[in-house]
Structure 1
């Protein structure tokens, strides 16, 4: 277990633990509002930004963040244009993100190896700048959730009632989308763009089985995500496996275990 004392593993653990707080928190709001596909969409758009960052020699995660924020505003605009078919906005932006990423890949074939780390995760390569970015996003998300817990609760479960009561729903909708974009942008180097949605959704799926209140769900999603992050990193480190994939598969194993346990109780 010498790997635990390694500096790169400790960096990975710190980054993973921080994302294990923010990603499932934002995922909880998205899943309960039936907007879980936004995670996949912003992840694909972020990859286009990462590719452009490599191409022009600018910090890739920073460019990916800009792309994700731009996609957030675009989704909100399209949702207003297609009120009856709001899911169209997600499909359109995802398609555009994938198309742009593929175009940038062909323009910069020399950085394809580096981009693969953002597609599937490269948590062992986190540096000081990455950790600072992750820590800043974590603080922002926690402050936003703590200061607006009641408003987010009402918006999540009854947006119409929230609007009637005078809550600025447009503002809070945009806030949730922006926070999600921030989390996804800093998460893709940890679990990868192709797997980041799992960290957003699977802890919530687990909490829906065992939590009995919204407050319990908030605590449960974080605990489950942290268990998966720590366990996945240890498994990957000991057996030399892909960290991102190990974290996601452990999350799925926990979900299956909870589903099996629930069935035995109800039968």
Structure 2
């Protein structure tokens, strides 16, 4: 506790915890919808697309790479969601093609582009997260807070329609909701959380931040609203615990957070089994 109190004196630790909490909250909200719509792997595919866009931004030496990665990831999210039902190439195949292709192109660009001397370090930190979150400025924290606020406001405003589209698009259409527009909104929300979350756990691990809290919450509750609330709590607690462990023990940030979420899922899974046996 004394070591924890020592680290909490520094503003960069507070900034990192704030950003980590915001990313964990947003990703958990979106994760429930993706799991129920059987789009769990879309986060993995989009994170690779974001990696490719980030590689292009690095080669072009863009100061603010978000302005490139965000629209590219958004377009890919729309295409992948449409591929789930309308395209000739079905969703799982489309995700695999885009995911592997973007990863290969991104690595090629970072390896052959100018300033590629430290390509191994750059690729590793981009894929698995880096300690750059511990060097956040107040402006970057504010930027993350703005993106997170936009995400949460949109989610709350369209909660009922997202709920309807998640379970039955035909029923949602019959009740006056336009599934195409809600799916577009879902694509926008996914793109936001993927791009923002990459700075925390990296492009390869961001899908775990989306999926594990939702799966853990589903072991405990069966109503959509309770699953959303439980998923947010599980994600927040495991992300903060993972970050604190990483800071104090000097372990890899992204991997530590994901391991903390795996432990949370295991605990919820056991609780669910015990509850089932009692009933």
> Does TM, normalized by the shorter one, top 0.5?
yes
Which consecutive unaligned segments of at least 5 residues does structure 1 have? none
Identify which range, 30-39 or 95-104, moves more after superposition.
Answer: 95-104
> Does the residue aligned with 2:117 lie in a helix, a strand or coil?
helix
Q: Structure 2: how far apart are the matches of 1:152 and 1:266?
A: 29
Query: Which residue does 1:120 correspond to in 2?
Result: 128
Q: Whole-Å Cα distance in 1 between the matches of residues 118 and 199 of structure 2?
A: 15
Aligned partner (choices 82, 88, 111) of residue 88 of structure 2:
82
Shift of 1:199: 0.7
Candidates 25, 49, 55, aligned match of 1:51: 55
Matched with 1:260 is 270
Q: Is 1:17 matched with 2:21?
A: yes
Change (3 A) 1:218 1:265: closer
Does structure 2 conserve the Cα–Cα contact (< 8 Å) formed by 1:53 and 1:60?
A: yes
- Measure, in 1, the Cα distance between the counterparts of 2:217 and 2:248: 29
Q: What are the ranges of 5 or more consecutive residues in structure 2 without an aligned counterpart? A: none
Aligned with residue 216 of structure 1, among 219, 226, 229: 226
Q: Equivalent residue for 1:171? A: 181
Contact 2:51-2:106 within 8 A present in 1 as well: yes
Among candidates 132, 147, 164, match of residue 154 of structure 1: 164
SS at match of 1:241: coil
- The CA RMSD measured in Å over matched residues stands at 1.8
Q: Work out whether 1:187 is the aligned partner of 2:192.
A: no
- Mapping of residues 37-116 of structure 1, within 5 Å: 37-58=41-62, 59-76=64-81, 78-79=83-84, 80-82=86-88, 85-108=90-113, 109-112=116-119, 113-116=121-124
Tell me how many residue pairs correspond in the alignment: 266
Alpha-carbon offset, residue 66 of structure 1: 2.5
**What TM-score, normalized to structure 2?**
0.89
Shift, 1:63, TM fit: 2.4
